[in-house]
């Protein structure tokens, strides 16, 4: 009778000593129960429920599009590796070669090699002979007379005089000649125009417009020196 409570206690302890399934294995399945019984009896080994890792090649990755990169993985991942390598190869940067058109606007006459390809001594001789035949000598003709249009020629007048500016040759009478000359000279756009008007109205002997107060024969600071220097040079 004593053996019955002892057997019941041992059975209760064995029932409490359960193994927690790994990886979410259902312990109510017959397979798990059979595996458990084999472990308790020492007739089986613990099976790792985790999936084995995928084999990965130890070969170093190559450049995109290379042959080594196309065989990185084996098994189920081989297709994915091949597709990735093809995508990288299609998107890899390719060098762009830009052609520079010849600039026809730049002369190559200074390039001996370029000129020698299209010219020869014979062609140059023919070109020179053609230029000689079209050469024309123009005979010199006399310079036409300068027209006066009824106005005094200040160039001719400058060359006919020799006195410097400010040297009095003609008498001038009146009051405030300088102030009067300044007002009258302001009406002309240039000293040349004032000198033409001065000569047209009795100058240089007379100064009817009051343009030559010092009596040197030159109106409104007109200077004959540039004309004299030009003829001497």
Query: Which structure tokens are listed for 44?
Result: 């089986």
Q: What would the mean pLDDT of 30-36 be, rounded to a whole number? A: 78
Residue 181 counted as domain residue: yes
C-alpha distance from residue 106 to each of 47, 102, 111, 192 (Å): 86, 9, 11, 49
Does 154 have pLDDT greater than 60? yes
Q: What would the mean pLDDT of 163-171 be, rounded to a whole number? A: 92
Burial 57-90 (b: 16+ CB within 10 A, else e): eeeeeeeeeeeebeebbeeeeeeebeebbeeeee
Three-class DSSP labels, 158-203: HHHCCCCCCCCCCCCCCCCHHHHHHHHHCCCCCHHHHHHHHHHCCC
Q: What's this model's pTM, rounded to 2 decimal places?
A: 0.39
Task: Report pLDDT for 73.
Answer: 42
Q: How many domains does the chain have?
A: 1
Q: What would the mean pLDDT of 199-222 be, rounded to a whole number? A: 93
Does 112 have pLDDT greater than 60? yes
Residue 57 counted as domain residue: no
Residue 104 counted as domain residue: no
The domain of 204 spans 154-232
129 or 74, which is more confident? 129
Task: Report pLDDT for 30.
Answer: 78
Residue 7 counted as domain residue: no
Task: Report pLDDT for 19.
Answer: 47
Average pLDDT of the chain to the nearest whole number: 75
Q: What percentage of the chain exceeds 90 in pLDDT?
A: 34
* pLDDT confidence band for 211 (50 / 70 / 90): very high
Residue 92 counted as domain residue: no
Does 186 have pLDDT greater than 90? yes
Does 141 have pLDDT greater than 60? yes
Task: Report pLDDT for 75.
Answer: 54
Query: Which structure tokens are listed for 68?
Result: 């080594």
Task: Report pLDDT for 71.
Answer: 47
How far is 118 from 59, CA to CA, in rounded Å?
61
* pLDDT confidence band for 69 (50 / 70 / 90): very low
Residue 203 counted as domain residue: yes
């Amino acid at each position: 009778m004593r053996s019955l409570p002892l057997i019941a206690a041992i059975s209760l302890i064995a029932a409490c000593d359960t193994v927690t399934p790994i990886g979410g294995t259902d312990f109510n399945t017959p397979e798990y129960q059979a595996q458990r019984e084999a472990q308790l009896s020492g007739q089986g080994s613990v099976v790792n429920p985790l999936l084995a890792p995928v084999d990965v090649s130890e070969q170093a990755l190559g450049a995109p599009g290379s042959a080594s990169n196309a065989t990185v993985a084996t098994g189920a991942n081989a297709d994915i590796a091949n597709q990735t390598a093809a995508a990288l190869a299609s998107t890899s940067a390719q060098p762009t070669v830009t052609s520079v058109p010849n600039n026809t606007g730049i002369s190559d006459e200074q390039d001996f090699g370029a000129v020698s390809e299209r010219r020869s001594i014979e062609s140059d001789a023919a070109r020179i002979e053609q230029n000689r035949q079209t050469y024309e000598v123009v005979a010199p003709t006399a310079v036409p007379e300068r027209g006066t249009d009824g106005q005094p020629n200040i160039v001719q007048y400058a060359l006919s005089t020799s006195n410097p500016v400010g040297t009095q040759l003609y008498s001038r009478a009146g009051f405030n000649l300088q102030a009067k000359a300044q007002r009258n000279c302001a009406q002309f756009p240039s000293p040349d125009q004032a000198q033409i008007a001065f000569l047209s109205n009795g100058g240089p002997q007379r100064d009817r417009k009051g343009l030559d107060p010092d009596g040197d024969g030159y109106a409104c600071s007109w200077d004959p020196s540039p004309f004299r220097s030009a003829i001497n040079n």
